[in-house]
Amino acid sequence: MQGDYRRLVNHHMLDSATNYECYKGLYSSLESANYHEIAYALNRQFGEGGLYRDIPLYNFVDNHDVNRVASNLKKPAHLYPLYLLLFTMPGAPSIYYGSEWGLEARRTFHSDRALRPQLDLSRMAGQTAHPRLAGDIARLASLRASLPALRHGDYRQLSVAPQQFAFARFTAQEHVVVLLNAAEAPVGMEVKVPANFSAAVDLLDGDERFTLQQGRLKVEQVPACWGRVLKLA
User: For the chain, what are the domain ranges?
Assistant: 5-148, 149-232
Confidence at residue 45, expressed as pLDDT on a 0 to 100 scale = 97
Does residue 136 contact residue 83 with C-beta atoms inside 8 Å?
A: yes
The 3-state secondary structure of 113-149 reads HHHCCCCCHHHHHHHCCCCCHHHHHHHHHHHHHHCHH
- Residue 1: per-residue pLDDT: 56
The per-residue pLDDT string of the chain (233 residues; one tens digit each, 9 = 90 and over) reads 567 888 888 888 898 999 999 999 999 999 999 999 999 999 999 999 999 998 999 999 999 999 999 999 999 999 999 999 999 999 999 999 999 999 999 999 899 999 999 999 888 878 888 999 999 999 999 999 999 999 999 999 999 999 999 999 999 999 999 999 999 999 999 999 999 999 999 999 999 999 999 999 999 999 999 999 999 99
Phi, psi at 122, each rounded to 5°:
-70, -20
- Superfamily holding 149-232: Golgi alpha-mannosidase II (2.60.40.1180)
pTM of the model: 0.96
DSSP tag of 54: T
- Do 76 and 66 contact (CB within 8 A), yes or no? no
CATH architecture label of 5-148: Alpha-Beta Barrel (3.20)
Q: How many CB atoms lie within 10 A of CB 209?
A: 11
Question: In this predicted structure, what is the pLDDT of residue 2?
Answer: 61
